[in-house]
Amino acid sequence: MFSDKGLILIQAYSFTSKPIAHVEIILDKSNKTAKYSAGDFTAHMGIPTYIDAEHAIAHNKIIIIDKETVITGSFNFTKAAEKKNAENLLILKSKELTKIYLNNWQEHKKHSTLYQGK
- The answer to whether residue 61 is catalytic is yes
Catalytic, out of 28, 29, 52, 61: 61
Catalytic annotation, pick one of 66, 67, 99, 108 = 66
Of 29, 9, 3, 5, the closest CA to residue 106 belongs to 9
Asked about 35 being catalytic, the answer comes back as: no
Task: Name the DSSP class of 34.
Answer: S
User: Mind giving me the DSSP string for 47-89?
Assistant: --EEEE-SSS----EEEEETTTEEEEES--SSHHHHHTS---E
SS3 25: strand
Determine whether 55 is an active site residue: no
What does DSSP assign to residue 101?
A: H
Please tell me which residue in 59, 110, 111, 118 is annotated as part of the active site.
59
Active site residues: 59, 61, 66
